[in-house]
């Protein structure tokens, strides 16, 4: 048996990178019978040119279909297209739930510095890197942040994923234009693929996955408790609420909403939390409908 990593999946075939090179493989029939689908990022055992066994996964995402993600790099912009904070917070919540490390990348700072974005997510406790694929600002810092990890790059279409990846390396990914009428980008990433970058300080290979835009990134249906756990800045205050079962939305004596009023928790983050919590409560109350 040969061990390898799936780097591309298309039309029922899998490109697997091994220590001896790259093979195009087919999955064994047992996977289909068992309802198991190999994914990009999976570590596998090969029997010849057949994917024979999946090794234990760190995590798995349904859309995009990827496995073993260590870091999610979430790209956001205040230039065209302007990132919806709620959509960004959905992605962060899902990454937190999956146990992935997170870095928020503020792109196109040559067009719009987006100081507010930097402030909101830095205060929330996330690593934030401000970059420009045009001027090169922040790229060295970002390259160190992803060194030695398997990282998914995700963000709204047109926010600059492919441009940033091209600037970090020599991948030559297709770059699309942004529709000024609609304020959103045109998709250039049609499938999910893993690329290897040279190792730096860690000595470990660095893998990056370019994905389609946020509209293709499915967020799992989190429970109300999981939603609360996904907003790390709430934890500092939640134990100070008057009621032990406080939901941190409209309850009297809520330390979280008091912190929002004082500006210690950004209003946009609390608004995202409240909206996600409402959706989770609705799902929970209708799960047997």
Domains and CATH numbers, the chain: 2-55 (2.40.50.140), 66-216 (3.40.50.300), 224-285 (1.10.40.50)
What is the predicted pLDDT for the residue at 286? 77
What is the predicted pLDDT for the residue at 188? 44
What is the predicted pLDDT for the residue at 28? 95
What is the predicted pLDDT for the residue at 227? 92
Q: Which two tokens stand for residue 181?
A: 């009428």
Chain CA centroid to CA 172, Å: 22
Q: CA 263, 265, 267, 268 torsion: positive or negative?
A: positive
| Residues shown for the chain | 289
For 27, the 3-state DSSP assignment is strand
pLDDT tens figures, 79-122 = 888 899 999 999 899 889 888 999 999 999 999 988 999 999 99
What is the predicted pLDDT for the residue at 151? 93
- Which parts of the chain register pLDDT below 50? 174-189, 213-216
């Amino acid at each position: 048996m040969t061990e390898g990593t799936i780097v591309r999946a298309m039309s029922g075939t899998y490109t697997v990178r091994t220590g001896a090179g790259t093979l195009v493989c087919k999955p064994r029939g047992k996977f289909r019978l068992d309802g198991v689908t190999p994914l990009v990022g999976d570590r596998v055992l090969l029997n010849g040119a057949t994917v024979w066994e999946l090794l234990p996964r760190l995590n798995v995402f349904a859309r995009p279909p990827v496995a073993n993600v260590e870091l999610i790099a979430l790209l956001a912009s205040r230039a065209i297209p302007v990132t919806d904070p709620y959509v960004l917070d959905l992605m962060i919540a899902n990454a937190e739930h999956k146990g992935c490390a997170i870095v928020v990348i503020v792109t196109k700072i040559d067009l719009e510095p987006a100081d507010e974005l930097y402030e909101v997510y830095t205060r929330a406790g996330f690593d934030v890197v401000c970059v420009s694929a045009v001027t090169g600002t922040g790229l060295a810092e970002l390259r160190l942040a992803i060194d030695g990890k398997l990282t998914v790059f995700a963000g709204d279409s047109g926010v600059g994923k492919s441009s940033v990846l091209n600037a970090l390396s020599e991948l030559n990914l297709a770059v699309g234009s942004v529709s000024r009428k609609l304020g959103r980008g045109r998709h250039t990433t049609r499938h999910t693929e893993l690329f290897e970058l040279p190792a730096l300080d860690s000595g470990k290979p660095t893998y990056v996955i370019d994905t389609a835009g946020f509209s293709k990134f499915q967020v799992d249906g989190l429970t109300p408790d999981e939603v609360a756990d996904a907003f790390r800045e709430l934890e500092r205050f939640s134990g100070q609420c008057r009621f032990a079962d406080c939901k941190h939305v409209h309850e009297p004596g809520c330390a979280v909403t008091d912190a929002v009023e004082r500006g210690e928790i950004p209003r946009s983050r609390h608004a995202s939390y409240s909206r996600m919590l409402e959706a989770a409560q609705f799902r929970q109350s209708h799960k047997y409908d």
